[in-house]
Structure formats: C-alpha cells, structure tokens
Amino acid sequence: MDKFLIEGGKCLRGEVRVSGAKNAALPIIAAALLVKGPLVIDNMPALQDVNTMLKLIESMGVKIERRGDMLVSIDASSIDSHKAPYELVKTMRASILVLGPLLAHFGEAEVSLPGGCAIGSRPVDLHIRGLEAMGANIVVEEGYIRATMDGRLKGAKIFFDTVTVTGTENILMAATLAEGQTIIENAAKEPEVTDLAECLVSMGADISGAGTDTIIINGVDALHSAEHSVVPDRIETGTFLVAAAMSGGKVTTTATKPGIQEAVLQKLIEAGASIEIGEDWITLDMQGKRPKAVNITTAPYPAFPTDMQAQFAAMNCVAEGVSHVKETIFENRFMHMQEMIRMGAKILIDGNTATIEGSTQLRGAPVMATDLRASASLVMLALVVEGETLIDRIYHIDRGYENIEEKFQAIGGKITRISANH
Ligand code: UD1
C-alpha cells in the first residue's frame, strides 16, 4: 500500500488548478445509461472513484472512449447486462447511482446492496422507497437489490424525510424517462445535483427546480446524446484554501466556481483570512497569521458541508482558541481525530461534537488514513506542523483527489509518495 512521507513546517504559496467534482462526475457517468448514443463528458477528474464507476458500466457492456486527459465519451447502446456486482460496489458506495438509470431505461436492475462504511451505516432505503413509489418492484435478496418494472416507471410525488444527495440523484435520473410528472420534495440542493440536472436537460430531460428543495420532472419518451462539462470540485477547492490558511500562506485556486463555496469561505474569513474572488478563481491570503479557531456544524447544502469537516478540524487543531465541531450528517465521522491526537492535537469527543483546543505543540507522527476526507485532513496537518509524518493507507485519498501530492508540491508542500513496490 502506498504511503505519504511529509516534512512539515511549510508555508503554502502559489496556484492550484481545481479538477472536476467527483460527486458530480459519478452521477453524470451513471446518467449515460439513460441514453443510446454517446454522452461526452468534459472536465472529468482523474480519480480512482471515476475509474471504478467507468469499470462498473464497462462491465455491463457499455463502450468507454477516453479522449485526452479530461474528456470521456460513454455509449450505452451496446449494454448487455444490468448488474452491478458486489466486487465493485463494495469498493465504492456511489455505485448505487446506476440503480435508477438502469431501471428507468431497461426495466430491470440488479445492484449489490452497499454495506456500511468507515463513516457510518449509510442506508439506501430512501432510494428504494422512491423507486417503489414510481411503481418498481424491488426485492432485497442474497445481498442484492433486484428491481424490475413492466413498462415505464410512473411519475410520483416523493418526499424524502432525510435530505439525501445520491437518493435525490437516483430518483431524478429515473424520473426523466418515467411516464408523467415526478415531484421530489425535500430534495438535496447540492451543486452536484444541479450539475447532474443541467447535464440531463442537455440530454433532453424536462426538469425544473434543481438547486431548490422541490424538483419537478416531466418524463420524456427518450433522451439523446449530449456534451457536458463537470462542475469544479468545491471540496477540493476548500481543501487547498484551508491548507493555505493553516500554513499562514497565500494560495489561489483556479478553474473553480466561487458561488458554490459560501459556507466555507465565510468560515475562512472568520478564521482571519483575506479572500479575493474572481469569476473562476479564489485567492486566500493569511498574511503569515495563525488562524483563529472557528465553530462548525455540518448540514446539507447550502450549510457547512460534512465533506469539509475533517479539514476544518485540522485547522482548528493548530488555530488560536477553542472550537466546537458538530457532525450532524454521519454518525462516525471523527476517525481522523484519533490520528490527529497522535500528532499532539487536543481534542475531546462527546457524541457528535468535538471540542478542539488549538495548540502550537503538534508534531509529525506515523498515522493512518481512514476515509477520503480524513486522509486529506491528515495531509494538511502534516504539511504545516513541525517534523515528519508518514501517512499509511493513502489509497483513500486517491479515490477523490487528483494528483494531490503534485498539487501540494507546486505550492511548497514537502510531500512524497512512497509506493508499495518501492
Ligand atoms: C453524498 C456524497 C458524500 C457526502 C454526502 C453528504 C456522493 C457520491 N457522495 O453521499 O460525499 O458526504 O452526500 O453530503 O455524492 N440516508 C438514509 N437513507 C438513505 C440515504 C441516506 O438514511 O436511503 C442518510 C445517510 O445515512 C446520511 C444522510 O442520509 O445520514 C445523508 O446521506 P446522503 O446525502 O444520502 O449521502 P450520500 O448520497 O451517500
């Protein structure tokens, strides 16, 4: 397994180009299953999760053509299987995103039931109930969700009692080909849902209200080929900006979308950063200062994202003052904190709230990455505290950050990948 060796105590300065968003790319790849004929996707990030999703639909007979670094053309005309097997789903929960499109287009789908994961139990009951409300017959047996439908799915009114991002996306995709109107209430408002909706509209879908909590979809008989560019990754953007703030440095993120970054930017300003914004760039300047600790509470968009919680926890470990970090989305998303404590962080965890006392005494230590964003937070902390840190199990980070070590190296981070066969 690859590891990162990091020499800390560095101030980060320079420019980082942000990649396309993982959480938009994955549903958009699944959306290609809704149409016979190519869906051409630009700004596709080079990530392990994207490879897994492409491998998954390739295993169903779908044709994938990579044209250059960021362009992928997907053609589902040659599909000959409607099954997402356990071997692939167990490596990536977002595989569940093929359920809605397969069922809507082909009248059947068999998707391995995703298990628990490091950050919590993460059920998919809302995806299943939504599709059942649209007339699907669904049984869960032998570890698989087996869904069938005679004819087209039927439009329905679907109320989610919990805001679910991939649940909203599954129903949104399924509804594009359903008969009649579907109304999703308490829908996820995440920009990645909006990006998927924009892609579907360019494929001929009739959707309104994406980005609000009520999405209305009028089903159409068929979708058509289209081209779409994936929205920039707001979590990657935030990760580099927070890293810069922790180091007292100045970093510009380019090819990004500032308008979808409000909650995070506001917290960075509260931490003492100067922020400058252009059409597709954000500059954070900390002017050599130590950040002030900030309280955060995670919640669905547009509130503070759970996918930025670990990074802000890392900042609070070295910031001035005491902070409270409250996680309301996933029940077990504090695993990175145990590793931070090994580096000298002062953290007390009580249920879903962590109290962090900022300190200047942290030092590098051998640590283990536990999930994607947790891994990023350990890299950030290791880059700014004194001493050497060896981070094990960094395969988590490759799932969702494109060339993270090269991007950090380019802004002055001392980070080296030690590959397993080294
Ligand atoms: C997506 C993101 C992930 C992010 C999360 C929350 C992708 C590929 N992943 O994950 O990066 O951290 O949103 O912003 O986009 N729930 C149920 N039943 C369901 C579905 C969800 O109870 O059927 C619960 C979950 O356990 C969780 C909450 O709803 O507590 C939100 O989860 P959800 O939005 O569905 O997360 P994902 O879509 O899996």
- What confidence tens digit (pLDDT) does each residue in 391-403 have? 999 988 999 999 9
* Cα 124 to averaged position of ligand 1 atoms, centre (Å): 9
Token pair belonging to 274: 């100067």
Residue carrying the six token digits 């692939």:
88
Of 3, 5, 65, 6, the closest CA to residue 32 belongs to 65
User: How far apart are alpha carbons 359 and 355 in whole angstroms?
Assistant: 13
Residue of 96, 162, 298 to mutate, ligand 1, most atoms within 8 A of C-beta? 162
* Residue 119 pLDDT class (50, 70, 90 cuts): low
End-to-end CA distance of the chain: 10
Does position 279 have pLDDT exceeding 80, yes or no? yes
Write the pLDDT tens digit of every residue in 6-19.
999 999 999 999 99
Residues with a CB atom less than 6 Å from ligand 1: 23, 26, 94, 120, 122-127, 162, 164-167, 192, 306-307, 329-330
Give the mean model confidence (pLDDT) for residues 115-124: 70
Residue 5 main-chain phi, psi, to 5 deg? -105, 125
Catalytic residues: 117
Query: Is the pLDDT score of 422 beyond 60?
Result: no
Residue 324 has pLDDT above 60, yes or no: yes
Beta strand ranges found along 8-97 (DSSP E): 13-17, 38-42, 63-67, 71-75, 83-84
For tokens 């994955």, the residue is 26
Quick one: which atom of ligand 1 is closest to the CA of 129? 23
Question: What would the two tokens of residue 83 be?
Answer: 């099954």
pLDDT at 22: 97
Quick one: pLDDT at residue 332?
A: 83
CA-CA distance, 422 to 408, in Å (whole number)?
22
Confirm if 148 and 137 have CB atoms less than 8 A apart. Answer: yes
Ligand 1 pocket test target in 122, 189, 301, 304 with most atoms within 8 Å of CB: 122
159: left (phi over 0), alpha (psi -120 to 50) or beta: beta
**Going by CA atoms, what residue is nearest to atom 1 of ligand 1?**
165
pTM value? 0.97
| 297 strand-pairing partners | 326
pLDDT mean across residues, the chain: 96
Distance of CA 319 to the CA centre of its chain: 26
In sequence order, the 6+-apart residues with CB closer than 8 A to the CB of 141 are none
Question: What pLDDT sits at residue 121?
Answer: 66
Q: Given a cut of 90, is residue 96 above it in pLDDT?
A: yes
Q: Which residue's CA lies nearest to atom 35 of ligand 1?
A: 164
